[in-house]
Amino acid sequence: MARKFAELRARMSPRSQARAESKALALLAEMPLHELRRARGLSQQQLADTLKVRQPAIAKIEKRADMYISTLRSHVEAMGGQLEVVARFPDGVVRISNFSGLGEDVEV
């Protein structure tokens, strides 16, 4: 018989619950573009309509390992997000601000 996840979680120790929560947050904090789009409940066609491009262009972007920051920014903004470029160093984190004005009218 299938059980609800909430029932299973309730039977876990507080330590196990905290560990599972930590792993879930880590998975949500880092994902490829196609998973991000799916997590936001969007199809490639819906995103293409928002960006005023064809669906194959979205598929192509999602497969790229290298792209312009302006392209990535427009893609993220079309999903309702905001792109930030951050450099992480052992002694701290720095937000790179050079790219804040990019991507206003970018073709994908």
Tens-place pLDDT, residues 92-101: 989 888 866 6
Domain ranges in the chain are 1-30, 32-108
SS3 at position 95: strand
* pLDDT on residue 108: 44
- What would the CATH number be for the domain defined by 32-108? 1.10.260.40
Say what the pTM is. 0.64
Give the type of residue at 39. Answer: A
Q: pLDDT tens for residues 29-77?
A: 678 899 889 988 999 999 999 999 999 999 999 999 899 998 999 999 9
Q: Which of 66, 68, 70, 64 is nearest to 105 (CA)?
A: 70
Confidence (pLDDT) at 44 = 96
